[in-house]
Amino acid sequence: MPSRNDLRNIAIIAHVDHGKTTLVDAMLKQSHIFRDNQIVVERVMDSNDLERERGITILAKNTAVTYRGTKINIVDTPGHADFGGEVERVLNMVDGVLLLVDAVDGPMPQTRFVLRKALELGHKAIVVINKVDRPNARLNHVANATFDLFIDLGATDEQSEFPMVYTDAIRGIATLGPGENGSDLQPLFDTIVKYIPAPQVEPDEPTQLLVTSLAYDDYKGRIAIGRLSAGTLRPAQLVARIAVNGTITPGKIAELFVHQGLERIPA
């Protein structure tokens, strides 16, 4: 089956407050999503008012960055136990995950739940140990605890041979080894492109789009967000929506969009 080597689809999973949204913000900034003179509100992916108030990510956000000719679609998943169902749905949209763990706390119970779901789907993981600048960071302990977690959850030999990236998300720095000096997130981007498999495509098969979430636009109305697993889509194309109960409703594609940064742009 052919692959789209210019694409990578990843989800970032982590326990609450381990720095997931901060890391996504840094990836966006270093991909020049924002203008140099643009004021960037912290926690740019927490657009929901309740999310900003509580400081957690509730609804999965979709964004994308381009790195050296490869478009990286990023799904920022909830890290709080109350929203585990949202995590499971979006894992079906991606081909691999970034497992973000705190350099002091290590893997937490919610991390265990989400990682199990990702491994069951056959996803490969990149382990990102964040907040390495903290004076009480336990890098070796956290690395060993994470490896033990993979084994405990029944990871395959291939899944257990995960790369590790060490980050200081607030400063936007990543390295491939503990104690190394870094200047940007290039090591993280390189690891994503190298390790996460490119999505396989079947453009000649009948169109199949798995809808995982819905959005609303004041001008466009309701927008279905999902992953195209087979076939192609184009404006004015006739399609059929199949509900969970099997009900089939005919329809037509009005407009198509892709994500770039935090915006939807015409495909």
User: Cα-atom radius of gyration of the chain, to the nearest Å?
Assistant: 19
Confidence of residue 33 (pLDDT cuts 50, 70, 90): low
**Nearest-angstrom CA–CA distance, 96 and 93:** 9
Mean predicted confidence (pLDDT) in 232-240: 93
Mean predicted confidence (pLDDT) in 213-238: 87
Cβ-based neighbour number of residue 260 at 10 Å: 16
Please give the residue that has the higher pLDDT: either 21 or 105. Answer: 105
Mean predicted confidence (pLDDT) in 61-81: 80
pLDDT surpassing 80 at residue 263? no
Domain definitions of the chain by residue range:
7-195, 208-266
Listing DSSP states for 179-212 in one string gives T---SSSHHHHHHHHHHSPPPB--TTSPPEEEEE
- Torsions phi, psi for 115 (to 5 deg): -60, -40
Token pair recorded at residue 108: 């937490």
Q: For residue 193, give the amino acid letter.
A: V
**Cβ–Cβ < 8 Å for 255, 266:** yes
CATH, range 208-266: 2.40.30.10
**Nearest-angstrom CA–CA distance, 50 and 113:** 24
**Nearest-angstrom CA–CA distance, 254 and 243:** 19
Token pair recorded at residue 51: 């999310």
Mean predicted confidence (pLDDT) in 69-83: 74
Weakest mean pLDDT among 77-81, 212-216, 218-222? 77-81
CATH for 7-195, options being 3.40.720.10, 3.20.20.70, 1.10.287.3610, 3.40.50.300: 3.40.50.300
Confidence of residue 61 (pLDDT cuts 50, 70, 90): low
Mean predicted confidence (pLDDT) in 247-263: 86
Weakest mean pLDDT among 20-24, 51-55, 75-79? 51-55
